[in-house]
Structure 1
């Protein structure tokens, strides 16, 4: 008899826990779990988001993943307060009750009553309510913050059902947040990301293969994407080609949409795409009738369309393009010889008010737009076949450039502009005569450039203020064998501010507006008369850095532009006052967070990893992608500033050096920078190269992971510095001991260990062993096998007689204007 009972229990147990269906006679209570049939990919049941919380929710999560990942929550805005809840079917509806309360906490709200309804969890993650095999309700029609494969986003025109994502309040609070990600069906449909119903990012319209503003969608190796726009519906659906691949798109609280896939070997989610990425992705970043070009290293990122000019010249001059652009002059734009100029590789303007004619080809589209005097621009509906016609008839908003993929936009200009642009890259080179003229012009320009360079090299090398208020800056290269000098007349590239306006903006440099202080002097927050917030770097009369570093920073940073470099707005030189004006970044510097126990918890692992990658991309730009090759020489946590979204921006180029041609290294007898971040060959021999910055980056990466200063005093560290201690732990296979405790469990051990190994590769003793920054960026962005690091520099054990007094060992010290020989033998 006992054996029979045991057999029945064994048979009943798997049946109870493999249940995938709710019927009129089978409900589930808190503690029960539905598991999807076939592959058992998803589970539905009750859960809590924090071990100390009594708040309960009904939802769906991945069943076979150790890290519980919630993809749908039923009662997200009406949490349960105990574990006595039941999900059942009543009158053809799914109903969630708590404590036998007659009023349901949540319901599927099907209007018609069905007698034989049942609910089933599918292996797609869709929870469906059916009657006679017809789906009458499904969770895919009311998504929360996650888009799964085979789930649609968009509008059902017949029923009025609109499916869209809404963010959670926070990672531990699934209540409806203030972000939505939805298709705007007006005009030519497109996806928008809204915050409090205000658009903050736009994917662009559908091009036949992808969204205009998401070039990463081409090609898509693991997804099939279906876009539907007809009389019945407007929708987008992503389907995985391999059913073994687990993928999801999630709308996160800070304002990011991320596409993630599960890596079973590493037991973590791997990000394969996210947006928005950079400032040019911000909705209407440059105002109307303009284009945002984040890759323009020499000029302001905002540029007016052909035939347009800045609406507010002063603001544009001060690198504020939000006012946009307006038409130039009063020339007729209606059948008066006007034409079109091509703006290549862009996310086409906001198409919510655009007109679409699918029956026209690109050539017919041009004629259609040319014949309509209100038409200001056109492009093709399908970029691959150049079929279909999209036209704009008013201000054009939110356009940005891409380096490779992107649509071509044709902007209407008058006959005078058309003649001018025929000689430039926007025009056509169809005529042989024009090609010849361009060749001659090119040769002429090259000749003038050669003459000008020769004159600059021989010119008198001075720092002078001229009568016309143009200033000359000299950059001296610290090269004993071949001293080079760079002189730049800075009357047009960098705006100059009046001392009175800066004094007024900073309340006469009041202490209340002081942001910080360094060897150069002080930094103040200011508000200009137009409302723009600025940071003013004021050179002290007694500064150890002096005028040379000031001139160096002006010359270098005015020629650099990258989303991970701080942006200079101008300078002020009047009498003995010398000031640099920067964009104001409200979140201060990175060290303010990672070295402060009360603030470090605000940077979880995902944000720290994004900061690491952003810093790496900024250095890569300095070393390889900018027109100049720049060695920063003072990369450290306090020189990485954070913007509103905690994106990193490298600052302080006073110690930077510019290399030209094939130069890869230099030697100086004036070592500058910060102990703890200096490479050994630079600190001891004055030899520096791009690998010096790689070393500093490695130290900074390890500090971000551990929350500890490399050269600080740590009672629990046996080595003389942090790098040496991490090296000891890495050899023992116990590097997780040093990870910042404020990260909690928000990180993947595999990912953190990989980053620690990358950091150790960067701080190897010999420069030749360290990877380039391009290799570092690649290693951070993929899962390739990493080399084994060698012994890092300065990894010595503390001696028994070494003082443990923090006053003798703690702190980071900047060195400026200090001549050094050898510190000690290696």
Structure 2
């Protein structure tokens, strides 16, 4: 009898232990009656995120943080500026309802510091998003959360935000070094809220880099966003006061950690099904540093030197400029009409605009609520307006102060129209006409050469055919190789039932590749929206001659893409190859950008 009761007690103890261990292993909360010691952790319900104590590489200091999969991927740190010197620390909820870290002497090292925290009881929970939230047990309201107090890392659904009324901002701040996670020298915040931009700052006061304005799809001063590497971002609004930027993935198996490192560079690490798939370090060039070329100076990474004055301007300090110290920038050569009128000069000619293509637009833009056709007219009527630009997603932008932080891109950016005195416009036009006349001469020479070449080829073809008939053999000529390859590849594509579109059909559909039909630009080239004669909407990717992709590589790519079918991939309808033109024709997806589907 005694043995039987002992056996029942052991079984009950085992069952209790299993249940207790199961509960503790899946624990994702800290209650008022619980605490976390140095060797313990709290785990999100999907076992992806953990909250606990850790030490960075080459450091013995202890910190409380949240990490993804392992403590080498820390996404948040509580006591980044108040490290524990040993492993005697404790994380708990204090009597006033705050989350606190205590050292071995029971001193508060760090606190969530919510003045309105509940004095009865609160619960902290680590969510599946990686967000640690502190909730009032009585009301169920969230009174504090880690996502609103970020450190140097951003994860999906986390926000960077700014309140236009109170000035309150959620910003990210780099570490001092890999082994020292304390507050570093670089920070990121959302600025210029009428056309939001992300700024990186040095010591919180000096601008270091900026993205350019958001156009509803990308930041127009960040060409890399057009390639699809940085997809998933969106800007949102809470009422009329708060503007925020966040990112997320359509596929729940995808995850990313974007870190602002100690050198002011952004690093994106991507995961899929909890496995690391890629690491992208966004290297800043000399031109990316804010205001490198000073006011009215333009930066181009592919030029030497990288800085030049805008057309119609000259160095403010030629001696400094020649020493490649460009910070003083440039000044206007000829005064504008308004200035000449003010000085009592006789004025007969209006100012004009010079178009600069693929530009990162200057800082301090203002917006006008007018159509594209009125943007330049409105600027011209305003004496203080020095430049304007138009983006379909933003509208009319204009600048009335110094044009600072301009950059010339090889792809991406938008057209910037700078205001010049009439004499400077004439001077620029003359240079343009000279350029055009040279091109015409080249065109004439090229046309004559092609005509002669065609005659010679016709004669050669005739002789080759005669030779073929008389000798009953095939003559192989090196000039035939490209033609043969095109034929073979076209047969291959036709076998896969992928239509070949005529160039004229695509040109008609896109209104001769009109700028107004542009959906975006990438390393491949521009993408245009089009409408076929049967009413089908299409998106046309037109290969840029600068892409360096040859016909064979292009056709191989077509064959590969034509075989891909996936719910997250936009359907390839066909291609167009005529002369130098190489294009991919996709079905058009309304309300979303093409790259969001291609990459996402």
Asked if Structure 1 and Structure 2 have the same fold, meaning a TM-score greater than 0.5 normalized by the shorter chain, the answer is yes
User: 1 CA distance for matches of 2:423 and 2:166?
Assistant: 52
Q: Determine the structure 2 residue equivalent to 1:129.
A: 134
Q: Determine the structure 1 residue equivalent to 2:400.
A: 393
User: 2 CA distance for matches of 1:318 and 1:136?
Assistant: 56
User: 1 CA distance for matches of 2:318 and 2:48?
Assistant: 58
1:656-676 CA-partner distances (Å, limit 9, x unpaired)? xxxxxxxxxxxxxxxxxxxxx
Q: How does 1:43-122 map to 2 (within 5 A)?
A: 43-50=50-57, 53-63=59-69, 65=70, 68-90=72-94, 91-99=96-104, 101=106, 103-114=107-118, 115-122=120-127
Q: Determine the structure 1 residue equivalent to 2:383.
A: 373
User: 2 CA distance for matches of 1:236 and 1:184?
Assistant: 11
Q: Determine the structure 2 residue equivalent to 1:246.
A: 255
- The alpha-carbon distance between structure 1 residues 183 and 87, as it changes in their structure 2 partners (threshold 3 A), is same
Q: How does 1:223-234 map to 2 (within 5 A)?
A: 223-228=231-236, 231-234=240-243
Q: Determine the structure 1 residue equivalent to 2:156.
A: 149
Q: Determine the structure 2 residue equivalent to 1:25.
A: 33
User: 1 CA distance for matches of 2:333 and 2:279?
Assistant: 45
Q: Which runs of 5+ in 1 are unaligned?
A: 426-433, 449-624, 626-826
Q: Answer whether contact 1:309 1:327 (CA < 8 A) is retained.
A: yes
User: 1 CA distance for matches of 2:414 and 2:296?
Assistant: 16
Q: How does 1:65-464 map to 2 (within 5 A)?
A: 65=70, 68-90=72-94, 91-99=96-104, 101=106, 103-114=107-118, 115-131=120-136, 132-157=139-164, 160-185=167-192, 188-196=195-203, 197-218=205-226, 220=228, 223-228=231-236, 231-262=240-271, 268=276, 270-272=278-280, 274-276=282-284, 278-296=285-303, 299-330=304-335, 332-333=337-338, 336-351=349-364, 354-357=365-368, 359-380=369-390, 383-385=391-393, 388-423=395-430, 439-443=436-440
SS at match of 2:266: strand
| TM-score computed with the length of structure 1 as normaliser | 0.48
SS at match of 2:248: strand
- What is the RMSD of the two structures over their aligned residues, measured on CA atoms? 3.0
SS at match of 1:10: helix
Instruction: List, as ranges, runs of 4+ consecutive aligned residues in structure 1 with deviation greater than 6 Å.
Output: 445-448
| TM-score computed with the length of structure 2 as normaliser | 0.66
1:20-62 CA-partner distances (Å, limit 9, x unpaired)? 111222322222211112x2221101111247x5421111001
- How far has the Cα of 1:216 moved from its partner? 1.5
1:420-474 CA-partner distances (Å, limit 9, x unpaired)? 333556xxxxxxxx7xx865443558999xxxxxxxxxxxxxxxxxxxxxxxxxx
User: 2 CA distance for matches of 1:216 and 1:133?
Assistant: 42
- The alpha-carbon distance between structure 1 residues 439 and 108, as it changes in their structure 2 partners (threshold 3 A), is closer
Q: Answer whether contact 2:224 2:230 (CA < 8 A) is retained.
A: no
Q: Answer whether contact 2:270 2:279 (CA < 8 A) is retained.
A: yes
Q: Answer whether contact 1:209 1:218 (CA < 8 A) is retained.
A: no
What is the number of equivalent residue pairs in this alignment?
Answer: 428
- How far has the Cα of 1:93 moved from its partner? 1.4
- The alpha-carbon distance between structure 1 residues 363 and 424, as it changes in their structure 2 partners (threshold 3 A), is farther
- How far has the Cα of 1:323 moved from its partner? 2.8
Q: Which runs of 5+ in 2 are unaligned?
A: 1-8, 340-346, 446-545, 547-600
Q: Answer whether contact 2:31 2:124 (CA < 8 A) is retained.
A: yes
Q: Answer whether contact 2:216 2:234 (CA < 8 A) is retained.
A: no
